[in-house]
Structure 1
């Protein structure tokens, strides 16, 4: 596992795998869904710029492009995001780590179904390989565990893909500690992907962070910038389009939004003193945590990609890490993650 220093790590190794990368990846979901429309050419340019910058990991999923159906918005279709990445990395496959996911299916009406039986695991992997135009997936996640299938069966089938050389390492998403341990005992997990940021820290309280540290599993925080709240680019009068996922999230509505922006205002003052942006400080706070993490901030734009990548140059002292943690104490953040606790990313 990678050792930390007082500043920031140059590279991170995913769990006990042989996959090493720079410690900030790129979340690609927004290029296909959830945060308004995206321009295909701009997205491909951003992906290619990410390779030039040495961004280590592109994070996608087979459902990205279709999941807007759950919120009544038009979709680009199942597999859209993987196809986009496959086009962007043509000729440069070996320069980037590709992480993708399976298990979530969605009807045209937005009904969600989770599928995790071994036959489907193999089928989904083959389909992702075709869309990504590659002969292997570096990190293959189960997006959400199918409650009708024992986790040992799902993870066992994923392990078979590693044995076959189609996948280099496996991970899971949003697992509670008991299932995390069962999964890891079946086949070693390289990574766990969960929401984690200055303003969403439930993984600290429910034992997930401690378990990842104990088991040597790299934590991959999604929404590490609080769905852009921690960038300081959202104001008190913000109105989100119906196609924007945040339009239904409690933390971005009414009095909750106003109170949460008070916290971000304080983050901005801290960032000015550091000579950094609020988003860079938020990412640096994650990188300073006492375990290996690879945040995957999402963006469609080269400008923000460069800004996020430069967060590795922001060093925080132990006192500054504690100061930021106290500022965003969970008791100070208003509103839940989702309107319905069963709805996740």
Structure 2
């Protein structure tokens, strides 16, 4: 094994240890999702590929509140009868789907109820990483995190995190609670997260990079990027693998969590952790 690859194979989330490339389950649970059985196979293939971080949310479902928790039930079904030791399960609370909209509910009482419901759906005694899906402007961030800290003290969650936050919100979160992770969008060429990544490095917390290919509307850009294509050709992989490897090389705090509805893709994405980018690869990222 080339020196340096060993360090990138696993990354820390508080006291937990997970693969450097995880799996994001939104794509198999929200609009445009595949059939249930295909989604189950995608989760299984992610674990088989060595992805030991599986990220979902109670609001990953279609627009009806009757479907709330679909993504969590799907993950539980995918992990059932599979040796789960070492797999870190992350989920989120504080947001619901109603009438086609995403509605924020960061009230402490809702987060307590949501966490207990997530535990039942995930078939777990304690959630490995429980995250506030997005700060609710109607509720002080400190109150939401206070409820999550209580859940941690009760042993219902192991580590806690925040998602879709600004730098100021992350600083407030770190002052209010033992935050182990932040989950924000990050893809190659994006610089708006630089200060947050720097703070994560300083504080020793993980940065879970969702939408690492830029999101559904921008993913095609990765495949057509000439720089990525050249690097991919040199390594015998796809431009998407290079994009993930560039994120890993950017910071030891970053854990990309790509999503897919294709059971064959997790094995392809996981190999990014085994790539070592040279000078040409580092040039894909300003300042890398």
**TM-score, normalised to structure 2's length?**
0.91
Change (3 A) 1:49 1:111: closer
- Say which of 36, 40, 56 aligns to 1:40: 36
The counterpart of 1:51, out of the listed 32, 36, 47, is 47
For residue 75 of structure 1, report the CA deviation from its aligned partner.
9.0
Per the alignment, do residues 170 and 261 of structure 1 end up closer, same or farther by CA in structure 2, a change over 3 Å counting?
Answer: closer
Matches within 5 A, 1:141-160: 141-160=131-150
Choose the corresponding residue for 2:17, options 20, 26, 34. Answer: 20
- Structure 2 spans left out of the alignment, 5+ residues: none
Q: Distance in 1 between matches of 2:96 and 2:148?
A: 18
Match of 1:226 in 2: 214
Q: Runs (4+) of structure 1 moved beyond 6 Å?
A: none
Q: Which residue of 1 aligns with 2:184?
A: 194
Mark the CA change 1:8 to 1:304 in structure 2 (over 3 Å): closer, same or farther: farther
Instruction: Name the structure where strand makes up a greater proportion of residues.
Output: 2
**Contact 2:61 / 2:97 at 8 angstroms: preserved in 1?**
no
Q: Secondary structure at the match of 1:33?
A: coil
**Aligned partners of 2:162, 2:102: CA distance in 1, in Å?**
18
Deviation of 1:326 after TM superposition, in Å, equals: 4.8
Q: 2:283 aligns with which of 314, 323, 326?
A: 323
Cα distance in 2 between the residues matched to 1:216 and 1:115: 28
Instruction: State the match for 1:171 in structure 2.
Output: 161
Q: Which residue number in structure 2 is paired with residue 103 of structure 1?
A: 94
Q: Specify the structure having the higher radius of gyration (Cα).
A: 1
SS of structure 1 residue aligned to 2:131: strand
Gaps of 5+ in 1: 228-245, 330-345
- Rate the CA distance shift 1:209–1:10 in 2: closer, same or farther, 3 A: same
1:211/1:261 Cα in 2 relative to 1: closer, same or farther (>3 Å)? closer
Measured in 1, the distance between the counterparts of 2:263 and 2:66 equals 22
What residue is the counterpart of 1:290 in the other structure? Answer: 251
The residue number in structure 2 matching 1:231 is none
In 2: Cα distance, 1:114 partner to 1:124 partner: 12
Once superposed, what is the RMSD of the aligned Cα atoms? 2.4
> CA 1:304 to 1:262, structure 2 compared with 1: closer, same or farther past 3 Å?
closer
